[in-house]
């Protein structure tokens, strides 16, 4: 069924595609001044790490954006503005990615990691504002109310988890990056899988009682 949000989704998909493609531009061919090609490639490990982490983040944000608009059936001007704010954050990702790649392993790595995580914290807030607005204005498909509730619960913790990564970056950059990977995996989980996990846990609790 075609909905009012078809053009919103098409435009958003294009912006996600551009942002994720721009990430690879920060991975450069090693210069001759770096010595052998093998040594030059190995020296660029911060760029590879930042690229793969941001690629995963943008890819998972695109997946969650798709899930949102599977539920959102109607649009209005405010929804369009909120979606643009989200895309503003997404298109900015290549910049903090480049900053992180250029500063990992240097005295400035903590500042770079804090900046990197701050950007994703803001994006997580935009995600929540967009979704909460759609829910509050009843722009969702009413037949999907149960799965929408699962999405609401999953998204609610997003800003706090990203905020935790930001705080950890100030303490230990390596730990922060490890938690970043865990966060990416968490938001990659479909709400239906979380529902089954919660259902199995509830069943086990009932049987033990």
| Domain boundary assignment for the chain | 6-203
Give the pLDDT confidence of 173-193 residue by residue, as tens digits: 999 988 888 888 877 777 666
What integer is the mean pLDDT of 156-182? 90
Task: Please determine, for residue 203, whether its predicted confidence score (pLDDT) is greater than 80.
Answer: no
More confident residue, 161 or 204: 161
Cβ atoms 44, 28 nearer than 8 A: yes
Higher pLDDT, 195 or 166: 166
Compute the average pLDDT of residues 48-72.
93
pTM of the model: 0.84
pLDDT tens digit sequence for 106-145: 999 999 999 999 999 999 999 999 999 999 999 998 888 8
Interatomic CA distance for residues 89 and 96, integer angstroms: 11
Q: Please tell me the distance from the alpha carbon of residue 205 to that of residue 200, in angstroms, as a whole number.
A: 9
Mean pLDDT of 12-39: 90
Using alpha carbons, select from 152, 158, 146 the residue that is nearest to residue 122: 158
Looking at the predicted structure, is the pLDDT value of residue 167 above 50? yes
Structure confidence at residue 193 (pLDDT): 61
CA torsion sign for 184, 187, 190, 192 is: positive
Report d(CA 124, CA 161) in Å as an integer.
9
pLDDT (0 to 100) of residue 195? 56
Contacts of 182 (CB under 8 A, 6+ apart): none
Alpha-helix runs per DSSP H in 104-144: 109-136
pLDDT band at 3 (very low <50, low <70, confident <90, very high): low
Q: Scan for tokens 């990056």, then name that residue.
A: 177
50 to each of 3, 20, 40, 134, 142, how far by Cα in Å? 36, 12, 17, 32, 40
Is a pLDDT exceeding 80 seen at residue 1?
no
């Amino acid at each position: 069924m075609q909905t009012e949000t078809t053009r919103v989704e098409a435009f958003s998909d294009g912006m996600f595609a551009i942002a994720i493609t721009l990430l690879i531009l920060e991975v450069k061919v090693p210069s001759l001044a770096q010595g052998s090609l093998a040594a030059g490639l190995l020296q660029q490990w911060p760029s590879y790490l930042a690229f793969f982490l941001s690629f995963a983040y943008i890819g998972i944000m695109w997946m969650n954006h798709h899930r949102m608009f599977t539920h959102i059936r109607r649009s209005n001007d405010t929804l369009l503005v909120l979606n643009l704010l989200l895309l503003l954050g997404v298109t900015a990702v290549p910049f903090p990615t480049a900053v992180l790649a250029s500063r990992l392993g240097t005295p400035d790595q903590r500042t770079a990691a804090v900046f990197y995580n701050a950007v994703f914290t803001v994006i997580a807030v935009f995600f929540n504002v967009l979704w909460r607005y759609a829910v509050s204005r009843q722009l969702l498909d009413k037949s999907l109310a149960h799965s929408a509730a699962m999405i609401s619960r999953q998204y609610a913790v997003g800003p706090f988890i990203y905020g935790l990564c930001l705080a950890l970056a100030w303490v230990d950059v390596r730990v922060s990056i490890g938690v970043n990977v865990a966060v990416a995996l968490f938001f990659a989980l479909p709400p239906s899988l979380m529902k089954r996990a919660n259902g199995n846990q509830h069943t086990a609790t009932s049987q033990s009682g």
